[in-house]
Structure 1
Amino acid sequence: MSTSESVIHQVPYYAQWESPELVPDILAGTSLAADDPFWERSGAADPEEYEYWSWRLCGVACLRMALDFWWGLAPPAVRLAEECLAAGAYVRHPDGRLDGLIHAPFAAYVRRRWGLPAEARSPLTPEELPGLLAAGRLVVLSVHPSIRTLDPDPPRQGGHLVLAVGATEQELLIHNPSGFPDGSQRFARVPWDDLPRFFAGRGIVLGPFG
Protein backbone atom coordinates (compact mmCIF):
# COMPACT_ATOMS: atom_id res chain seq x y z
CA MET A 1 0.00 0.00 0.00
CA SER A 2 1.39 3.34 -0.99
CA THR A 3 0.80 6.28 1.33
CA SER A 4 2.53 9.63 1.01
CA GLU A 5 2.81 9.99 4.78
CA SER A 6 1.66 8.40 7.99
CA VAL A 7 -1.48 9.68 9.68
CA ILE A 8 -2.62 8.58 13.14
CA HIS A 9 -5.65 10.20 14.74
CA GLN A 10 -5.50 10.25 18.54
CA VAL A 11 -8.91 8.71 19.01
CA PRO A 12 -10.02 7.63 22.51
CA TYR A 13 -10.68 3.91 22.83
CA TYR A 14 -13.82 2.11 24.00
CA ALA A 15 -14.38 -1.62 24.05
CA GLN A 16 -17.83 -3.10 23.53
CA TRP A 17 -17.58 -4.24 27.16
CA GLU A 18 -17.17 -1.70 29.94
CA SER A 19 -14.05 -3.45 31.28
CA PRO A 20 -11.61 -3.85 28.37
CA GLU A 21 -9.26 -6.00 30.43
CA LEU A 22 -11.98 -8.66 30.76
CA VAL A 23 -12.46 -9.13 27.01
CA PRO A 24 -10.26 -12.29 26.72
CA ASP A 25 -12.10 -14.01 29.59
CA ILE A 26 -15.55 -12.99 28.31
CA LEU A 27 -14.79 -14.24 24.81
CA ALA A 28 -13.34 -17.48 26.20
CA GLY A 29 -16.46 -18.04 28.32
CA THR A 30 -14.51 -18.09 31.58
CA SER A 31 -16.29 -14.92 32.71
CA LEU A 32 -19.80 -13.66 32.01
CA ALA A 33 -20.37 -10.19 30.66
CA ALA A 34 -23.08 -9.87 33.31
CA ASP A 35 -20.34 -10.07 35.94
CA ASP A 36 -18.52 -7.03 34.53
CA PRO A 37 -18.23 -4.79 37.62
CA PHE A 38 -18.84 -1.69 35.53
CA TRP A 39 -21.92 -2.90 33.65
CA GLU A 40 -24.02 0.02 34.94
CA ARG A 41 -21.87 2.47 32.97
CA SER A 42 -23.42 1.02 29.81
CA GLY A 43 -26.84 2.43 30.65
CA ALA A 44 -28.36 -1.06 30.82
CA ALA A 45 -31.22 -1.60 33.25
CA ASP A 46 -29.68 -4.74 34.74
CA PRO A 47 -26.78 -7.17 34.20
CA GLU A 48 -28.93 -9.37 31.95
CA GLU A 49 -29.70 -6.52 29.56
CA TYR A 50 -26.00 -5.65 29.53
CA GLU A 51 -25.10 -9.27 28.78
CA TYR A 52 -27.51 -9.30 25.82
CA TRP A 53 -26.34 -6.06 24.27
CA SER A 54 -22.62 -6.24 25.02
CA TRP A 55 -22.02 -8.93 22.40
CA ARG A 56 -23.63 -6.70 19.77
CA LEU A 57 -22.06 -3.32 20.51
CA CYS A 58 -19.02 -3.25 18.21
CA GLY A 59 -20.50 -0.61 15.92
CA VAL A 60 -21.83 1.40 18.85
CA ALA A 61 -18.35 1.32 20.41
CA CYS A 62 -16.94 2.70 17.15
CA LEU A 63 -19.50 5.51 17.24
CA ARG A 64 -18.62 6.32 20.87
CA MET A 65 -14.95 6.61 19.89
CA ALA A 66 -15.77 8.96 17.01
CA LEU A 67 -18.08 11.13 19.11
CA ASP A 68 -15.49 11.37 21.87
CA PHE A 69 -12.78 12.24 19.33
CA TRP A 70 -14.74 15.09 17.77
CA TRP A 71 -17.02 16.18 20.60
CA GLY A 72 -15.54 14.85 23.84
CA LEU A 73 -18.81 13.00 24.31
CA ALA A 74 -19.34 9.24 24.75
CA PRO A 75 -22.99 8.46 25.55
CA PRO A 76 -23.75 5.16 27.34
CA ALA A 77 -23.47 2.23 24.93
CA VAL A 78 -26.81 0.55 25.57
CA ARG A 79 -28.65 3.85 25.28
CA LEU A 80 -27.06 4.38 21.87
CA ALA A 81 -27.95 0.81 20.89
CA GLU A 82 -31.60 1.44 21.80
CA GLU A 83 -31.60 4.53 19.59
CA CYS A 84 -30.06 2.50 16.76
CA LEU A 85 -32.77 -0.13 17.23
CA ALA A 86 -35.47 2.53 16.96
CA ALA A 87 -33.74 3.88 13.82
CA GLY A 88 -33.78 0.49 12.09
CA ALA A 89 -30.03 -0.08 12.34
CA TYR A 90 -30.78 -3.16 14.43
CA VAL A 91 -33.77 -5.47 13.88
CA ARG A 92 -34.85 -7.44 16.94
CA HIS A 93 -36.87 -10.62 16.37
CA PRO A 94 -39.47 -12.02 18.79
CA ASP A 95 -37.11 -14.86 19.76
CA GLY A 96 -34.44 -12.34 20.80
CA ARG A 97 -32.27 -12.64 17.70
CA LEU A 98 -30.82 -9.36 16.56
CA ASP A 99 -29.87 -8.40 13.01
CA GLY A 100 -27.38 -5.59 12.52
CA LEU A 101 -25.63 -3.28 12.67
CA ILE A 102 -27.14 -2.41 9.28
CA HIS A 103 -24.89 0.17 7.66
CA ALA A 104 -27.25 2.46 5.71
CA PRO A 105 -29.80 3.12 8.48
CA PHE A 106 -26.94 3.44 10.96
CA ALA A 107 -25.29 6.12 8.83
CA ALA A 108 -28.63 7.92 8.49
CA TYR A 109 -29.08 7.78 12.27
CA VAL A 110 -25.59 9.21 12.86
CA ARG A 111 -26.26 12.10 10.48
CA ARG A 112 -29.69 12.87 11.92
CA ARG A 113 -29.02 12.34 15.61
CA TRP A 114 -25.47 13.61 15.91
CA GLY A 115 -25.01 15.87 12.92
CA LEU A 116 -21.91 13.90 12.00
CA PRO A 117 -21.24 13.23 8.31
CA ALA A 118 -21.64 9.50 7.77
CA GLU A 119 -21.79 7.47 4.56
CA ALA A 120 -22.28 3.73 4.14
CA ARG A 121 -19.85 2.51 1.47
CA SER A 122 -20.02 -0.77 -0.40
CA PRO A 123 -17.73 -1.45 -2.08
CA LEU A 124 -14.99 0.15 -0.01
CA THR A 125 -11.45 -0.84 -0.91
CA PRO A 126 -8.28 -0.94 1.21
CA GLU A 127 -6.69 1.43 -1.28
CA GLU A 128 -9.20 4.15 -0.35
CA LEU A 129 -8.47 4.07 3.37
CA PRO A 130 -5.21 6.07 3.55
CA GLY A 131 -6.74 8.96 1.63
CA LEU A 132 -9.88 9.00 3.76
CA LEU A 133 -7.85 9.01 6.95
CA ALA A 134 -5.52 11.70 5.64
CA ALA A 135 -8.58 13.84 4.89
CA GLY A 136 -9.51 13.73 8.58
CA ARG A 137 -12.08 10.97 8.43
CA LEU A 138 -12.50 7.85 10.56
CA VAL A 139 -13.75 4.67 8.96
CA VAL A 140 -15.83 1.85 10.47
CA LEU A 141 -14.79 -1.38 8.74
CA SER A 142 -16.56 -4.72 8.49
CA VAL A 143 -13.95 -7.37 9.32
CA HIS A 144 -13.84 -10.87 10.72
CA PRO A 145 -13.34 -10.78 14.51
CA SER A 146 -10.23 -12.96 14.30
CA ILE A 147 -8.41 -9.87 13.04
CA ARG A 148 -7.52 -9.46 16.73
CA THR A 149 -4.97 -12.26 16.35
CA LEU A 150 -4.26 -11.86 12.62
CA ASP A 151 -5.58 -15.40 12.14
CA PRO A 152 -3.84 -16.88 9.07
CA ASP A 153 -7.06 -18.57 7.90
CA PRO A 154 -10.26 -16.82 9.02
CA PRO A 155 -13.47 -18.68 8.04
CA ARG A 156 -14.93 -15.67 6.24
CA GLN A 157 -14.72 -11.91 5.91
CA GLY A 158 -16.86 -9.49 7.90
CA GLY A 159 -19.14 -9.99 10.89
CA HIS A 160 -17.48 -7.49 13.23
CA LEU A 161 -16.87 -3.74 13.19
CA VAL A 162 -13.63 -1.92 13.98
CA LEU A 163 -12.59 1.71 13.64
CA ALA A 164 -9.74 2.66 11.32
CA VAL A 165 -7.81 5.46 13.04
CA GLY A 166 -4.52 5.63 11.16
CA ALA A 167 -2.39 4.45 8.28
CA THR A 168 1.29 4.07 7.54
CA GLU A 169 3.00 2.72 4.46
CA GLN A 170 3.14 -0.71 6.06
CA GLU A 171 -0.02 -0.93 8.16
CA LEU A 172 -3.56 0.12 8.92
CA LEU A 173 -4.15 1.10 12.55
CA ILE A 174 -7.46 0.14 14.11
CA HIS A 175 -9.29 0.44 17.41
CA ASN A 176 -10.91 -2.96 17.90
CA PRO A 177 -13.92 -3.06 20.30
CA SER A 178 -13.29 -6.77 20.98
CA GLY A 179 -9.52 -6.70 20.83
CA PHE A 180 -7.27 -8.07 23.55
CA PRO A 181 -5.36 -5.85 26.00
CA ASP A 182 -2.06 -7.36 24.83
CA GLY A 183 -1.97 -4.96 21.89
CA SER A 184 -4.98 -5.64 19.68
CA GLN A 185 -7.36 -3.10 21.26
CA ARG A 186 -5.83 0.36 20.77
CA PHE A 187 -3.93 1.36 17.63
CA ALA A 188 -3.69 -2.30 16.63
CA ARG A 189 -1.47 -2.70 13.58
CA VAL A 190 -2.81 -4.68 10.63
CA PRO A 191 -0.34 -5.09 7.75
CA TRP A 192 -1.90 -4.12 4.43
CA ASP A 193 -1.17 -7.57 3.00
CA ASP A 194 -3.17 -9.16 5.83
CA LEU A 195 -6.21 -6.88 5.73
CA PRO A 196 -8.01 -8.50 2.74
CA ARG A 197 -8.31 -11.82 4.63
CA PHE A 198 -10.62 -10.15 7.14
CA PHE A 199 -12.11 -7.11 5.41
CA ALA A 200 -15.48 -7.56 3.71
CA GLY A 201 -15.06 -4.54 1.45
CA ARG A 202 -17.70 -2.37 3.10
CA GLY A 203 -17.91 0.15 5.91
CA ILE A 204 -19.07 3.54 7.11
CA VAL A 205 -17.05 6.71 6.53
CA LEU A 206 -17.42 9.23 9.38
CA GLY A 207 -16.65 12.96 9.45
CA PRO A 208 -15.02 15.28 9.40
CA PHE A 209 -16.95 18.29 10.61
CA GLY A 210 -16.87 21.57 8.80
Structure 2
Amino acid sequence: MVLGALGRPVPPIHEIRRGVQAAGGYVEAPEGIRGLIYAGAVTWLAGQGIPARILLDQSAQDVAQLVEGQASLFIASVHPGIRRPETSPTARGGHLVLVFGRDAAGALRLHNPSGDSPGTQADARIPIVRFQDFFAGRGILVG
Protein backbone atom coordinates (compact mmCIF):
# COMPACT_ATOMS: atom_id res chain seq x y z
CA MET A 1 0.00 0.00 0.00
CA VAL A 2 2.78 2.42 0.90
CA LEU A 3 4.67 1.97 -2.35
CA GLY A 4 1.58 2.62 -4.46
CA ALA A 5 0.55 5.60 -2.33
CA LEU A 6 4.00 7.08 -2.91
CA GLY A 7 3.68 6.57 -6.67
CA ARG A 8 6.29 3.84 -6.78
CA PRO A 9 6.04 0.57 -8.69
CA VAL A 10 4.39 -2.14 -6.61
CA PRO A 11 6.07 -5.54 -6.94
CA PRO A 12 4.08 -8.75 -6.37
CA ILE A 13 2.95 -9.04 -2.75
CA HIS A 14 5.03 -12.16 -2.06
CA GLU A 15 8.17 -10.37 -3.23
CA ILE A 16 7.44 -7.61 -0.73
CA ARG A 17 6.70 -10.16 1.99
CA ARG A 18 10.00 -11.94 1.39
CA GLY A 19 11.90 -8.63 1.56
CA VAL A 20 10.14 -7.52 4.73
CA GLN A 21 10.65 -10.97 6.27
CA ALA A 22 14.37 -10.89 5.46
CA ALA A 23 14.53 -7.54 7.30
CA GLY A 24 12.88 -9.10 10.38
CA GLY A 25 9.37 -7.87 9.68
CA TYR A 26 7.76 -11.30 9.75
CA VAL A 27 8.59 -14.41 11.77
CA GLU A 28 7.42 -17.87 10.76
CA ALA A 29 5.79 -19.94 13.46
CA PRO A 30 4.47 -23.51 13.14
CA GLU A 31 0.97 -22.13 12.56
CA GLY A 32 2.15 -19.66 9.91
CA ILE A 33 3.57 -16.16 9.71
CA ARG A 34 3.00 -13.98 12.75
CA GLY A 35 1.75 -10.43 12.32
CA LEU A 36 3.98 -7.61 11.16
CA ILE A 37 6.94 -6.74 13.37
CA TYR A 38 7.20 -2.98 13.01
CA ALA A 39 10.97 -2.69 13.47
CA GLY A 40 11.61 -5.05 10.55
CA ALA A 41 9.10 -3.19 8.38
CA VAL A 42 10.82 0.12 9.16
CA THR A 43 14.18 -1.45 8.24
CA TRP A 44 12.76 -2.68 4.93
CA LEU A 45 11.21 0.72 4.17
CA ALA A 46 14.56 2.40 4.89
CA GLY A 47 16.16 0.03 2.40
CA GLN A 48 13.69 1.36 -0.18
CA GLY A 49 14.75 4.92 0.63
CA ILE A 50 11.51 5.56 2.51
CA PRO A 51 11.86 7.17 5.95
CA ALA A 52 9.64 5.62 8.61
CA ARG A 53 9.41 5.29 12.36
CA ILE A 54 7.33 3.44 14.91
CA LEU A 55 4.85 5.43 16.97
CA LEU A 56 3.18 4.13 20.12
CA ASP A 57 0.56 5.55 22.48
CA GLN A 58 -1.15 7.59 19.77
CA SER A 59 -4.77 8.70 19.65
CA ALA A 60 -6.96 8.90 16.56
CA GLN A 61 -6.62 12.70 16.80
CA ASP A 62 -2.82 12.31 16.75
CA VAL A 63 -3.12 10.27 13.56
CA ALA A 64 -5.39 12.91 12.03
CA GLN A 65 -2.77 15.58 12.72
CA LEU A 66 0.03 13.39 11.32
CA VAL A 67 -1.71 12.92 7.97
CA GLU A 68 -3.14 16.43 7.73
CA GLY A 69 -2.51 17.77 4.25
CA GLN A 70 -1.43 14.27 3.15
CA ALA A 71 2.23 15.05 3.95
CA SER A 72 2.68 11.71 5.74
CA LEU A 73 1.20 8.24 5.68
CA PHE A 74 0.39 6.18 8.74
CA ILE A 75 0.18 2.39 8.84
CA ALA A 76 -2.29 1.92 11.68
CA SER A 77 -3.05 -1.14 13.76
CA VAL A 78 -6.84 -1.47 13.93
CA HIS A 79 -9.40 -4.15 14.64
CA PRO A 80 -10.37 -5.94 11.40
CA GLY A 81 -13.99 -4.99 12.07
CA ILE A 82 -13.12 -1.55 10.68
CA ARG A 83 -14.50 -3.00 7.43
CA ARG A 84 -17.89 -2.30 9.00
CA PRO A 85 -17.39 0.87 11.01
CA GLU A 86 -21.01 0.88 12.16
CA THR A 87 -20.23 -2.16 14.35
CA SER A 88 -18.54 -2.13 17.75
CA PRO A 89 -15.20 -3.95 17.83
CA THR A 90 -14.47 -6.51 20.53
CA ALA A 91 -10.82 -5.41 20.75
CA ARG A 92 -8.34 -3.04 19.12
CA GLY A 93 -5.54 -3.92 16.73
CA GLY A 94 -4.61 -7.04 14.84
CA HIS A 95 -5.11 -5.62 11.34
CA LEU A 96 -3.31 -2.93 9.33
CA VAL A 97 -4.70 -0.08 7.24
CA LEU A 98 -2.97 2.83 5.54
CA VAL A 99 -4.25 6.23 6.68
CA PHE A 100 -3.32 8.82 4.06
CA GLY A 101 -5.29 11.97 4.76
CA ARG A 102 -8.54 13.62 5.77
CA ASP A 103 -11.53 14.65 3.72
CA ALA A 104 -13.25 18.05 3.77
CA ALA A 105 -15.48 16.94 6.66
CA GLY A 106 -12.43 15.87 8.71
CA ALA A 107 -12.93 12.11 8.39
CA LEU A 108 -9.82 9.97 8.03
CA ARG A 109 -9.16 8.55 4.57
CA LEU A 110 -7.70 5.06 4.47
CA HIS A 111 -6.84 2.14 2.26
CA ASN A 112 -7.80 -1.30 3.51
CA PRO A 113 -7.04 -3.83 0.74
CA SER A 114 -8.80 -6.60 2.65
CA GLY A 115 -12.02 -4.63 2.91
CA ASP A 116 -15.06 -6.62 1.86
CA SER A 117 -16.38 -4.12 -0.71
CA PRO A 118 -14.91 -1.37 -2.90
CA GLY A 119 -16.20 1.26 -0.45
CA THR A 120 -14.23 -0.32 2.41
CA GLN A 121 -11.03 -0.87 0.41
CA ALA A 122 -9.75 2.15 -1.51
CA ASP A 123 -10.24 5.62 -0.05
CA ALA A 124 -12.59 4.50 2.72
CA ARG A 125 -13.72 7.31 5.03
CA ILE A 126 -14.24 7.04 8.78
CA PRO A 127 -14.89 9.77 11.35
CA ILE A 128 -12.02 10.21 13.81
CA VAL A 129 -14.20 9.29 16.78
CA ARG A 130 -15.16 5.95 15.14
CA PHE A 131 -11.56 5.25 14.11
CA GLN A 132 -10.55 5.56 17.78
CA ASP A 133 -12.83 2.63 18.64
CA PHE A 134 -10.84 0.31 16.34
CA PHE A 135 -7.36 1.85 16.70
CA ALA A 136 -4.75 0.16 18.92
CA GLY A 137 -2.75 3.37 19.39
CA ARG A 138 0.27 2.20 17.43
CA GLY A 139 1.62 2.08 13.93
CA ILE A 140 4.30 3.26 11.53
CA LEU A 141 4.66 6.86 10.39
CA VAL A 142 5.92 6.98 6.81
CA GLY A 143 7.45 10.13 5.38
What is the TM-score of this pair, normalised by structure 1?
0.62
The yes-or-no answer on 1:108 pairing with 2:51 is no
Q: CA deviation at 1:151?
A: 4.5
Count of residues in Structure 1 that have an aligned counterpart in Structure 2: 141
Per-residue CA deviations over 1:60-117 (Å, capped at 9, x if unaligned) read: xxxxx32123243101100110111111111102x24222201122112211x20101
Q: CA deviation at 1:119?
A: 0.6
Q: Any unmatched runs of 5+ in structure 1? A: 1-64
Which of the residues 69, 73, 87 maps onto 1:152? Answer: 87
In structure 1, what is the Cα distance between the partners aligned to 2:86 and 2:7? 35
Q: 1:135 to 1:164 in 2, by over 3 A?
A: closer
In structure 1, what residue type is equivalent to 2:58?
L
As a proportion of its length, which structure holds more strand? 2
The yes-or-no answer on 1:66 pairing with 2:18 is no
The yes-or-no answer on 1:85 pairing with 2:9 is no
Corresponding residue of 1:117: 51
Per-residue CA deviations over 1:168-192 (Å, capped at 9, x if unaligned) read: 3441111112112241111111111
Stretches of 4+ moved more than 3 A in 1?
none
Q: CA deviation at 1:123?
A: 1.6
In structure 2, what residue type is equivalent to 1:160?
H
Q: Any unmatched runs of 5+ in structure 2? A: none
In structure 2, what is the Cα distance between the partners aligned to 1:178 and 1:107? 22
The yes-or-no answer on 1:137 pairing with 2:72 is yes
What is the TM-score of this pair, normalised by structure 2?
0.89
In structure 2, what is the Cα distance between the partners aligned to 1:201 and 1:135? 20
Contact 2:60-2:129 at 8 Å conserved across structures: no
User: Matches of residues 8-19 of structure 1 in structure 2 within 5 Å?
Assistant: none
RMSD: 1.6
Which of the residues 84, 87, 99 maps onto 1:164? Answer: 99
In structure 1, what residue type is equivalent to 2:38?
H
Corresponding residue of 1:16: none
SS of structure 2 residue aligned to 1:196: helix
In structure 2, what residue type is equivalent to 1:193?
V
Corresponding residue of 1:127: 61
In structure 1, what residue type is equivalent to 2:14?
V
